Amino acid sequence: MSTTEQNLPVKAFTRDFNFYYGSFHALKSINLPVIEKHVTALIGPSGCGKSTLLRSFNRMHDLYPGNRYQGEIVLNPDNTNILDTRVDPIEVRMRVGMVFQKPNPFPKSIYENVAYGLRVRGEKSRSMLDDKIEDALRGASLWNEVKDRLNQPATALSGGQQQRLCIARCLATDPELLLFDEPTSALDPIATANIEELVTQLRDRVTILIVTHNMQQAARVSHYTAYMYLGEVVEYGITDEVFLRPKKKETEDYITGRFG
Partner 1 sequence: MKANELDQIRSVIKTNKRADLIFALAGFLALMVGVMAFVTLFGEMLANGWERINPDFFSNFPSRRAANAGILSAWVGSLLVMLVTALSAIPLGIAAGVYLEEYAPKNWMTDLIEINVTNLAGVPSIVYGLLALGVFVYTFGFGQSILTAGLTLGLLILPVVIVSTREALRAIPIHIREGAYGVGATQWQVVSDHLVPYATPGIMTGVIIGMSRAIGETAPIITIGALTFIAFLPPSPITDTAPFLNFEWLFSGFTVMPIQMFNWTSRPEEAFQQNAAAAGLILVLMTLMMNAIAIWLRYRLRKSISW
What's the burial of 24, exposed, middle or buried (CB within 10 Å: 0-12/13-18/19+)?
A: exposed
Closer of 50 and 169 to partner 1 (Cβ): 169
Helical residues (DSSP H) of 152-247, grouped into ranges: 159-171, 189-202, 215-221, 239-244
User: Hey, is 174 helix, strand or coil?
Assistant: coil
Q: Is 100 in the site for partner 1 (CB under 8 A)?
A: yes
Q: Is 61 in the site for partner 1 (CB under 8 A)?
A: no
Closer of 165 and 226 to partner 1 (Cβ): 165
The closest alpha carbon to 199, from 173, 219, 228, belongs to 219
Instruction: Give the count of residues interacting with partner 1 (CB under 8 A).
Output: 28
Q: How far is the CB of 182 from partner 1 (least distance, A)?
A: 12
User: Is the Cα dihedral 60, 63, 67, 72 positive or negative?
Assistant: positive
In angstroms, the CA 50 to CA 180 distance is 11
Provide the 8-state DSSP code for 250. Answer: H
Q: Is 35 in the site for partner 1 (CB under 8 A)?
A: no
Closer of 100 and 143 to partner 1 (Cβ): 100
Please identify which residue in 44, 105, 139, 237 interacts with partner 1, judged by CB under 8 A. Answer: 105
Q: Is 60 in the site for partner 1 (CB under 8 A)?
A: yes
Binding residues for partner 1 (CB under 8 A): 58, 60, 63, 65, 90-91, 93-94, 97-98, 100-102, 104-107, 116-117, 119-121, 153, 155, 166, 169-170, 173
